[in-house]
Amino acid sequence: MTSKISPRTRRDNLGDDLAERFAAVRRLTRDWAAPLSDADATVQSMDDASPAKWHLAHTTWFFETFVLRDFVAGYALHDERFPFLFNSYYEAEGERHTRSARGLITRPTLDEVLAYRAAVDAALITALPGLPGAARELVALGCHHEEQHQELLVTDILHLFSRNPIAPALFDAPRKVPVEVPPPMSWIAHDGGVAEIGHAGAGFAFDCEGPRHRVLLHPHMIADRTVTNGEWAEFIRDGGYADPRHWLSDGWAWVQSANITAPLYWHKRDDGEVWTRFGLDGRRAIDPAAPVTHVSFFEADAYASWAGARLPTEAEWEHAARDADPAGGNQMDGAGPVEPRPGSEGGWFGDVWEWTGSAYRPYPGFRPADGAVGEYNGKFMSGQFVLKGGSCATPRGHARASYRNFFYPHQRWQFTGVRLAKDI
């Protein structure tokens, strides 16, 4: 999940529970990092991923920079070298370390980064009762920002461990007996008409989720669940990755150049008969009934073509999910097992982020906010596609129907999956 920051948000948790929310969010990040060695937390497995140590420090830098530095008189930076190391994309905050070289930051050590977190946490908790409203809003924003990085932290650890030949597990989980028969897919019909999408009402929202506006929906059907591993295996057996008829031109070029033959983390067992997947619990046989995950937009679009369907638009998905409980489904509840689960793919939230066919572009009337914290949405509205619904690695309570996640069409290291749609 790309980090998206903007001050144009609605008031959220700004009462007496803000300190409790801040402490809980910061504690969950530490809990996820607790099993990691210094080496685990330092290595960077690819340009799209960041080391765990960097996530721990960057989220701390956010609170130190935009709250303590800017609102607490006399506050002295914990280390004047850290802003260069742990700034992400904020041009207004000056020069920063190259993203692709974050894995070269062997110092500070993991222990020193954890000490940095502890010092900033203590200073912020002390300052919180006297902070003005604008600063408290930034604390709430920082909590949502850190929740995004919690998901990134988990998926970046997964990618890192997948590159280790011994396939280490971050945690143990009981061996499951795969469910052999996935539930049948049904279709929800919609006659079309004018609908409203975008965030409205109370509660937090990033600026890219608005303004709320009207859209025209054409008659369509949308699947009542996401595509399963078993269904994806049929696509592979039918030569889906080798048939250019189903692929966009850019997607076909990507498949050919990168030799893509299956979802990320899928491999055939030594006997060549059974697909396995790598997860945070190690390498195991795929569960045919569990939602397929770690597929790119290119793969999702090709599968939809093969299945005689298409991807839903962002507006179709959001309208269909408008009354669903965004805190329901299989989402992250703590630093424990994280994976899509069979039987839970029938909801609208959790398990996997769902690719839509909609480009990530501004809504009518959108205006990026001024200042450094307004940089993260508007300038990324080019060449990416919207995903909806949250995943098993999304902290529970973070997702909502209007939430607009976005990635480039070739990216698939996040928990990304597929829901189908059809025209009527």
Do 257 and 343 lie in one domain? The reply is yes
- Could you read off the pLDDT of 91-137 as tens digits, one per residue? 889 999 999 999 999 999 999 999 999 999 999 999 999 999 999 99
Calpha distance 223→312 (Å, rounded): 9
- pLDDT at res. 355: 98
Torsion of CA 195, 197, 202, 208, to 10 degrees: -160
Query: Domain check: are 125 and 210 in the same one?
Result: no
Interval 185-194 mean pLDDT: 96
pTM: 0.94
Has residue 176 been placed in a domain? no
Classify residue 9: in a domain, yes or no: no
Which DSSP state fits 182? P
- Residue 177: inside a domain: no
Do 114 and 199 lie in one domain? The reply is no
Clarify whether residues 261 and 140 are in a common domain.
Answer: no
The dihedral over CA atoms of 56, 57, 63, 64, expressed in degrees to the nearest 10, equals 150
**Residue 184, pLDDT above cutoff 90:** no
The answer on 139 and 200 residing in a single domain is: no
Please check whether residues 300 and 361 belong to one and the same domain. yes
Structural domain including 389 reads 187-423
Q: For residue range 381-390, what is the model confidence (pLDDT) as tens digits?
A: 899 999 999 9
Is the CB of residue 379 less than 8 Å from the CB of residue 5? no
Q: Is the domain of 64 the same as that of 115?
A: yes
- Per-residue pLDDT at 14 exceeds 60: no
Domain holding 244: CATH number?
3.90.1580.10
Q: Is residue 180 domain-resident?
A: no
Residue 317 shares a structural domain with residue 388: yes
In the chain, how many domains are there? 2
The answer on 231 and 324 residing in a single domain is: yes
pLDDT at 375: 67
pLDDT score, position 85: 97
- Confidence band (pLDDT; 50, 70, 90) for 373? low
CB neighbourhood size of 367 (10 A): 11
Q: Is 229 a residue whose pLDDT tops 90?
A: yes
Tell me, yes or no, whether 112 and 153 share the same domain.
yes
**Using an 8 Å Cβ cutoff, are 135 and 65 in contact?**
no
Q: What is the pLDDT averaged over residues 167-171?
A: 91
58: which 2 tokens?
């960057």
Backbone angles phi, psi at 122, to 5 degrees: -65, -40
> How confident is the model at residue 340, as a pLDDT?
94
State yes or no: pLDDT of 7 exceeds 50.
no
For residues 326 and 233, state if they share a domain: yes
